[in-house]
Amino acid sequence: MDSPGGARWRAQLRGWRGGLFALLGLYALGATVFLLAGGGQPAMTSLVAMEAEVEGGDAAANASQVSSVDSASAEGAVPDGDGSDAAATAASELPPDCNDIDPVEHDVDPGLTGVHALGFVTLEEQPAAFAGYEGCPLIVNFFASWCVPCVTEMPDFERFWNDHGTQVAVLGLAANDRLEDAIATVADRGVTYPTGLDEGELFIDFGGLGMPTTVFVSPEGQILETHSGLLTLEDITTRAEEHFGL
């Protein structure tokens, strides 16, 4: 059984708790009325406005960055002036079209280096010069009408020339052969690349050892390889890739 003092203390505690709950209830009711009456709207509106302002600032900054990038790209894409000077420079650096070379239109120039200082005679008996091939890779094939391997490989040189004639010049030279026999062989094998006649020591100058002999010459007129023996189309192409970077 509680003492009279304990009973009074518990009664007071219950009174305090009841008053506290009543006070909290009144506070909650007042806050609800305040919000319903629009009292909290300015604060909420301010918060939304701040968020919109921040988002707007970010969007403006992003737009500014994109505009700067686009401007820089546009400036880099548009050359100064009309671009004609750059185009002319690029065109001047392109290698010559080897199909356009006519050695008959050139004279022998002893001042040139290597092969380009030499001359030959075409099968039409016109003087020609290797100077015409300056700046263009060149394959010289020495052949003869009486040489079976020579006659066998000539169609492969024709195929190579048809495929790569703009990049690499091909010249067939009949060595130790009669002019009429060489002309007949060229016609019979369907050869259309330029041909000529070695009247003297070209075969020796190019390092030939047997027939047929094929010589790969750099655009600067230097002999890169001298091969004696038959070559297939694959052999010709492989060597051209190695020496000329086709």
Q: What pLDDT, in 10s, does the model give residues 79-131?
A: 444 544 544 443 444 456 898 888 888 888 888 889 999 999 999 999 999 99
Give the number of other CB atoms < 10 A from CB of residue 17.
Answer: 10
pLDDT-derived band at 8 (thresholds 50, 70, 90) equals low
pLDDT-derived band at 187 (thresholds 50, 70, 90) equals very high
Q: What is the reported pLDDT for 233?
A: 98
Q: What pLDDT, in 10s, does the model give residues 10-50?
A: 455 455 444 544 444 444 444 444 444 444 444 434 434 44
Q: Please state, for a pLDDT cut of 70, what percent of the chain lies above it.
A: 61
Rounded to the nearest 5 degrees, what angle is found at the Cα of 99, between the Cα atoms of 226 and 133?
A: 50
Q: What is the rounded CA–CA span in Å between residue 200 and residue 197?
A: 9
* Comparison of pLDDT for 152 and 30, the residue scoring more: 152
HEC string of the chain equals CCCHHHHHHHHHHHHHHHHHHHHHHHHHHHHHHHHHCCCCHHHHHHHHHHHHHHHHHHHHHHHHHHHHHHHHHHHHHCCCCCCHHHHHHHHHHCCCCHHHCCHHHCCCCCCCCHHHHCEEEECCCCEEEHHHHCCCCEEEEEECCCCHHHHHHHHHHHHHHHHHCCCCEEEEEEECCCHHHHHHHHHHCCCCCCEEEECCCHHHHCCCCCCCEEEEECCCCCEEEEEECCCCHHHHHHHHHHHHCC
Q: What pLDDT, in 10s, does the model give residues 192-218?
A: 999 999 987 899 999 999 999 999 999
Give the strand pairing for 138-143 and 169-175. Answer: parallel
End-to-end CA distance of the chain: 115
